[in-house]
Amino acid sequence: MAFSLEKFIHSLDLRTLPRVLQIQSGIYCQGSVYEMFGNECSLSTGEVIKVIGFKINKLIASICENNEGSQFSAKVELPLNFPGLYKVVADKTPYVSIEEIARKVSIGPTRFGHPCFYSAEDIKLENFTIKHGEQITFNSVEEVNGTMAVSCFMVRNNQSHSFTLPLSQEGEFYECEDDQIYTLKEIAEWKIPKCRNRIVKLSNTLCMRDSSCPLPENFDGCLILMPVYDVQAVMKFRKDIVHILSDLDVEVKDITDCYDIGSFLQPLSLEDIFERTSKEFPMVAEIMEGPLGSQKPYNLLSTGKEIVIYKKYQAARVLASEMRSDSSKRHFLIPTSYKGKFKRRPREFPTAYDLAIARSEKEQLHVVATKAFVSPHKELFSVSVGDQFLVQQCQTSEVLYEGRKKLIDVLACEQILSDSYKKVLLPMYMEGGFVEVIHDKKQYHLSEIRKEFHLPFNVKVSVRDLSIEEDVLAAAPALQFEEEITDSYLLISSASSPVESWEIPVYRLNMLVHLLSKDAQTAVPPTTRTTVEEISKEEYYMLRRYENLTLHPPPRPPKKPT
């Protein structure tokens, strides 16, 4: 049976990809050539394409001036980054089973992926009964004792109850009212069910009143949203990925079950390549869709280029950030092969506890106080701005507290006077401020810093890496080496002129390739070029979050006695 491309994509489950489609009614424009996003593809009747993915590209919104019960009139096109905050209007059409909800509604690990429904009738479970009208929150879809089910919870009498509902559970399920507000992008990604309309009400608009704003002036009504998808597909006789908008006026027929899907080129992501066994390397591949970026090696990875992938491995990187007071600081991943040199820069310490962590056996930590502190105990030292200290060791000290002697943790230091030193004790809970005094004028390689010092560590590039055409680290006023991470990489080179090889990150590079049935000229990679990778703020926070999951945080500083 033939469907419009729009209807087919709107009902398609991502989990069933890839799908092979035959064009039943094609588009004829300039010799049967249709151009979208710079890709040309012939969509003539009888053509066969393999759909490998799709994502929402934009939204078509029908405008209702009053409320969701009124007639919708004009339609406008809204990009996903259109400003404003929106409330989702609950769908009044019921779902007939849990399976329909799981198939049509986005259920996932984030707070956006926990939809809420209620049943029109009581549902009897083994331990208790869900009463009609009670709110059920859907957490995840999982297999329970060989049966697919939805993990749920509900709150009754201030107590949370967890349970599962099998996909086979039938009934009459309605969407609950949602009092949260969302951006248009969040609604597009999580709140538009398959094969259903989504009505939203404008809660707050950030749209400037100018000719570029498509909504009526002082608009306070509802919008009915229809997604337009960017469909990624492979054609029979092409070696690149084509992009087709789902609202293109063509009819298609799903012929997956009766077609040899292996006759198409098989696009592979870098993650797919990384999952291959080590014995399969090296391999030769052709780029079907290259990454964006002007820095090497990304500017060399253009569509149609053949590359050799020598091996996969885990490699260490030092995560570094510019030391700037504004929010525009940049973030970098520095390979251990970096050949530049660094000079130390002063570190800042907000508490005495941070001084205790930073002290090292290699050298004595010398600091200057930048904030005054008055000790509540006569046995401990009161600090003035400008006081200088040499940090010694952690110990305990006896203080008088509410008429009783009590042991507390302290930091033993030597105060530097004009012609002598004075032994003092600082309470570990002391909230002050200290700046390091650097006496070390030595220039360090990255390998020496990793070996001799604890991170975080502040530096400035003193000698740039001459093997890099443009050393982005040299332009930074100062850098903080925050932590060392381990990440996944592929080692590649050009297949036609393998004079140098490059490390490319597996999980931060959007790139598709297909494997060629030819052998690499040599299994030994050429000289590997050093590249400092600049990462976005989003990638930086994802790396910090991932790394911090595997680290145990240090104990919190002891609190000041009350």
* 558 occurs within a structural domain: no
Distance CA 81, CA 69 (A): 27
User: What is the average pLDDT across 63-91?
Assistant: 79
- The secondary structure of 218-277 as a DSSP string is T--SEEEEEEEEEEEEEETT-SSEEEEETTSS-EEEE-GGGS-GGGS---EEHHHHHTS-
Do 47 and 71 belong together in one domain? yes
Residue 420 sits in a domain of what CATH number? Answer: 2.30.30.40
* 319 and 241 within one domain: no
Task: Give me the chain's average pLDDT, please.
Answer: 85
Number of neighbouring beta carbons within 10 Å of residue 516 = 13
**Chain centroid to CA 195: how far?**
28
Same domain, 535 and 412: no
**Statement to judge: residues 287 and 393 lie in one domain:** no
Same domain? For 458 and 424 the reply is no
Question: Looking at the 3D structure of the chain, how many domains does it have?
Answer: 4
Asked if 494 contacts 307 with a C-beta cutoff of 8 angstroms, the reply is: yes
pLDDT in tens, 425-464: 988 888 778 999 999 889 999 999 998 888 889 999 999 9
Confidence of residue 208 (pLDDT cuts 50, 70, 90): very low
Q: Tokens representing 223?
A: 């919008």
Q: Is residue 86 part of a domain?
A: no
- Residue bearing the bigger pLDDT, 108 or 528: 528
Q: What is the model's pLDDT at position 544?
A: 75
Examine the fold and report which residue of 265, 287, 302 is the final residue of a domain before the chain moves on. 265
Tell me which of 124, 146, 176 is where a domain ends.
176
Residues 104 and 57 in one domain: no
Q: Could you tell me the residue range of the domain that residue 383 belongs to?
A: 348-436
The answer to whether residue 190 is domain-embedded is no
CATH code of the domain in which 164 resides: 2.30.30
User: Does residue 189 form part of some domain?
Assistant: no
Average pLDDT over residues 499-516: 91
- On the 0-12 / 13-18 / 19+ scale of CB atoms within 10 A, 370 is middle
Whether 186 is covered by a domain: the verdict is no
Residue 135 binned pLDDT confidence (cut-offs 50, 70, 90): very high
Model pLDDT for residues 7-66, shown as the tens digit of each residue = 899 888 877 888 999 988 766 444 344 555 555 556 788 888 999 888 888 999 988 866
Residues 354 and 318 in one domain: no
Kindly state the DSSP code that residue 151 receives in the 8-state scheme.
E
| Integer Cα distance of 149 and 138 in angstroms | 10
Q: Which residues of 171-189 are buried (b: 16+ CB within 10 A; e: fewer)?
A: bebbbbeeeebbbbebbbb
With respect to residue 560, please indicate whether it lies within any of the assigned structural domains. no
In this predicted structure, the answer to whether residue 74 has a pLDDT above a threshold of 90 is: no
**pLDDT > 90? residue 154:** yes
Q: Do residues 280 and 215 both lie within one domain?
A: no
- At 151 the pLDDT is 93
